[in-house]
Amino acid sequence: MSSLEAITTLPWVEKYRPKTLSEIVNQEEVVTSLMNILKTKNVPHMLFTGPPGVGKTATAHAFARDLYGPNYIEDGWFVEINASDERGIQTIREKVKMFARQIPMGGEIGFKILLLDESDQLTDDAQHAFRRVMEQYSTTCRFILAANYSNRIIEPIQSRCAVFRFRPLLKKDIISRIKWIAEREGLEIDDAALEAIYEFSEGDMRRAINTLQAAASISRKIDEKTVYYILGYVSRGEIRKILELALSGDFVSARDELRRLLYVQGLSGSDIVSAIYRELFYLDFSEEDKLELLDLLGEIDFRMSEGATEEVQLMAFLARLVAKSKKMGVRK
């Protein structure tokens, strides 16, 4: 690959973005409604809302491509503005208003589309100004607002939009897409790595694809260890070992393993707390004991966020675990 090709190569999130509405997965109701809108060309203002990484922005681009053709951006029919970059009223008065007021030239469609991504980041003043822009320029421009939290969009804007609610992606959809990308990039990825990517993506396809690309930069053969290394997370096996040592009453060995994670591998205390949280559910304790430990873990997480020493707080948790195991007579 030449240096120019390397510079112009798109990130995989962009490279493998769905090109048409038919490629959008797990959003059947939304896709069906948008397909019907395409047939009539009677496009309303729209609000796409749902968790991050489930396809809101990709759907907006796919809709515009199906409406205007493959050159929908180059021909000036579609523009995307990210409100999280510039969230004030000046963005609405200048960028948004300037694009919306321009009369489209040529083509069968008599209006353009502006995608306002992360629109829930706009200030209240900016949203009220935007409401007025929607009224003034509805004949020359249609607006698609993408928001993670619809309750942060003022009611006057919501009432002017057709609201489309996006569901979290299913596990099978994320794993299937990751496999599909891996095949096209010539990667070998095992099932454990796929599970790890899904677990840490938390249903966010964008995060899953970025994790895959980062892992591919290290090795063309991707396993669970590679994924954990990229994410900077501790593996379940290492955390399990610490918990089992504490449950057996061997506090010193558990302490040494914890220090190795903190000072040799350089993991943060919050990452270790998150890993312990995931493993606690698999301990051989009663539900009441697990609730007590979860309550303690939450308190420790809060103290660390307030500036408490990570090692001291995590040691306190291990000490409580050792004490509880001895009280119950647990020996792992």
> What is the distance between the alpha carbons of residues 273 and 313, in angstroms, rounded to a whole number?
10
Return the CATH number at 36: 3.40.50.300
* Residue 61 Cα to chain centre, angstroms: 18
Tokens in use for 75?
């021909």
Least confident of 21-30, 87-96, 191-200, 247-256: 87-96
Q: Is the pLDDT of residue 1 over 70?
A: no
Query: Does 318 score more than 60 pLDDT?
Result: yes
224 and 292 assigned to the same domain: no
Instruction: Give residue 5's pLDDT.
Output: 38
**Shared-domain flag, residues 299 and 268:** yes
The residue segments making up the domain with residue 292 are 236-328
Between CA 21 and CA 33 the distance in angstroms is 11
What lies within 8 Å, CB to CB, of 94 at 6+ separation is: none
Query: Do 147 and 28 share a domain, yes or no?
Result: yes
Strands ordered across the beta sheet of 46-49: 78-82, 112-117, 141-147, 46-49, 162-165
CATH code where residue 283 lies: 1.20.272.10
Are 227 and 242 within one domain?
no
Contacts by residues 68-76 (CB-CB < 8 Å, ≥ 24 positions apart): 68/107, 68/109, 75/107, 76/104, 76/112
Of 174 and 2, the one with more pLDDT: 174
Total count of domains within the chain: 3
Q: Are residues 45 and 146 both part of a single domain?
A: yes
Half-sphere exposure of 223 (CA within 13 A, CB side): 2
Same domain for 132 and 38? yes
DSSP class of 88 = S
- 260's CB contacts (< 8 A; 6+ apart) are none
- Alpha helices, DSSP H only, in the chain? 3-8, 12-15, 28-40, 56-68, 89-91, 97-101, 124-136, 155-158, 171-184, 191-201, 205-216, 224-231, 236-247, 251-259, 269-280, 287-305, 310-328
- How far is residue 143's CA from residue 303's CA, in Å, rounded to a whole number? 44
Euclidean distance between the first and the last CA atom of the chain, given in angstroms as a whole number: 53
Contact 63, 21 (CB under 8 A): yes
Residue whose tokens read 């991050």: 52
Same structural domain, 145 and 248: no
Q: What is the pLDDT of residues 15-56, one digit of tens each?
A: 888 889 999 988 999 999 999 999 998 999 999 999 998 999
Cβ atoms of residues 130 and 95 within 8 Å: no
Q: Give Dmax (Cα) for the chain.
A: 80
Statement: residue 331 has pLDDT above 50 = no
**Average pLDDT value for residue range 62-88:** 85
Predicted TM-score of the model (pTM)? 0.74
Distance CA 260, CA 234 (A): 11
Q: Which of 192, 212, 231 is the last residue in one of the domains?
A: 231
Of the three residues 199, 231, 263, the one that is the final residue of a domain is 231
pLDDT in tens, 230-257: 877 777 778 888 888 888 888 899 999 9
Query: What pLDDT does 2 receive?
Result: 37
Percent of residues, the chain, with pLDDT higher than 70: 92
User: What's the confidence (pLDDT) of residue 174?
Assistant: 92
State the pLDDT at residue 115. Answer: 93
Mean pLDDT score of the chain, rounded to an integer? 86
In terms of domains, do 262 and 130 share one?
no
pLDDT value of residue 7: 39
Check whether residue 59 and residue 130 sit in a common domain.
yes
Pair type for strands 141-147 and 221-222? unpaired
Among the three residues 210, 231, 252, which one is the final residue of a domain in this structure? Answer: 231
Predicted confidence (pLDDT) per residue in 261-298, tens digit: 888 877 888 888 888 888 888 877 778 888 888 898 99
Task: Report whether pLDDT(332) > 50.
Answer: no
- Please indicate, yes or no, whether residues 208 and 267 belong to a single structural domain of this protein: no
Q: Are residues 153 and 66 in the same domain?
A: yes
Q: Specify whether 27 is located in the same domain as 160.
A: yes
Whether residue 64 has pLDDT greater than 70: yes
